[in-house]
């Protein structure tokens, strides 16, 4: 469970499970490797490489890796 403050000022939290803040993101190749078996058991799906959060207000995307406390990438809408 974690929380952070978006640059727009909104408090973000993953307290609720499920929630609308965390995005589960895999590349197509990663997903292909995961699906390359007879059957997929949900508990066997590996954690994504990045922990991705989206602010519901301003739609900024924060990308974290497992080693750093601060986001390694931040994206925001141009318009």
Sign of CA dihedral 25, 14, 72, 69: negative
Query: Nearer Cβ to Zn ion, position 34 or 74?
Result: 74
Query: Nearer Cβ to Zn ion, position 50 or 60?
Result: 60
Smallest gap from Cβ 53 to Zn ion, in A, equals: 10
CA–CA separation, 45 and 49 (whole Å): 12
List interacting residues with Zn ion (CB under 5 A). Answer: 6, 8, 10, 55, 57-58, 60
Q: What is the DSSP-derived secondary structure letter of residue 7?
A: T
Cβ-closest position to Zn ion: 55
Smallest gap from Cβ 28 to Zn ion, in A, equals: 28
CA–CA separation, 13 and 49 (whole Å): 20
């Amino acid at each position: 469970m974690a929380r952070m403050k978006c640059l727009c000022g909104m408090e973000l939290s993953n307290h609720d499970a499920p929630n609308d803040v965390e995005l589960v993101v895999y590349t197509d190749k990663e997903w292909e490797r995961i699906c390359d078996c007879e059957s997929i058991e949900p508990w066997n799906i590996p954690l994504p490489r990045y922990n991705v959060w989206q602010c519901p207000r301003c739609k900024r995307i924060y990308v974290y890796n497992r080693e750093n406390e601060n986001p390694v990438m931040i994206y925001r809408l141009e318009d």
